[in-house]
Amino acid sequence: MKRFRFALQPVLDHRHRIEEERQQELAVLKRALNEETVRLAALHNEFRTYSNRLRREHSAMNVEDLRLHYAHLEFLDRAITEQEAVVAQKKVEHEAGRVRLVEASRDKKALEKLRERRREAHMLEQDRAEQRELDDANSRRYQHIIAGGRP
């Protein structure tokens, strides 16, 4: 029985490597998105902490302390706005990476399906060839018996 050989196996192997690369890229992008999201949450926490402190201690603060607290809140507000833009960009990059992974997976699966169809066709052809050999052997045997020979 002839062994099945998929002619496009090197291409399938390449597509498998590409899919793995895309998975690794997506993992890196996910980590970057998570890190930037954590930074944004930290900025929000710091803003809330300073806001609450300013509300609680407003009447006890002198003018210079008030000015410093409000300046720091403005700084935090700008930092939050900038960090939100960074997070939005990381989300776009993550989504693009996810799309690339989906495309790589789809390309690999298409070749895997083709390989499976060709393997099934190969097996079917092998079965037919075996059946033809059996039929030929039985036919020769039958002809031999009819001709007066022994089985």
Per residue in 62-108, pLDDT (tens digit) is 999 899 999 999 999 999 999 999 999 999 999 999 999 999 999 99
Q: Are 101 and 23 in contact (CB under 8 A)?
A: yes
* C-alpha closest to that of 33 among 77, 83, 82: 83
- Whether 37 maps to a domain, the answer reads yes
**Distance between CA atoms of 9 and 108, rounded to whole angstroms?**
11
Query: Pick from 15, 1, 18, 17: which is nearest to 114 by CA?
Result: 15
Contacts (Cβ under 8 Å, ≥6 apart) of 94: 26, 29, 30, 32, 33
Q: What is the pLDDT of residues 117-128, one digit of tens each?
A: 999 999 999 999
151, part of any domain:
no
The rounded distance, in Å, linking the Cα atoms of 134 and 128 is 10
Higher-pLDDT residue of 103 and 145 is: 103
- Residue 4 domain-assigned (yes or no): no
Please state, in angstroms and rounded to a whole number, the distance separating the CA atoms of residues 13 and 111. 10
Count of structural domains within the chain: 1
Asked if residue 1 belongs to a domain, the reply is no
What range does the domain containing 115 cover?
A: 9-146
pLDDT for residue 150? 63
Q: Does residue 2 fall inside a structural domain?
A: no
Mean pLDDT of the chain: 93
* Sole residue written with tokens 């895997």: 112
Contacts of 9 (CB under 8 A, 6+ apart): 115
Classify residue 122: in a domain, yes or no. Answer: yes
Averaged pLDDT for residues 31-38? 98
The 10 Å Cβ neighbour count of residue 97 is 21
How far apart (Å, rounded) are the C-alpha atoms in residues 19 and 102? Answer: 9
Total-model pTM: 0.74
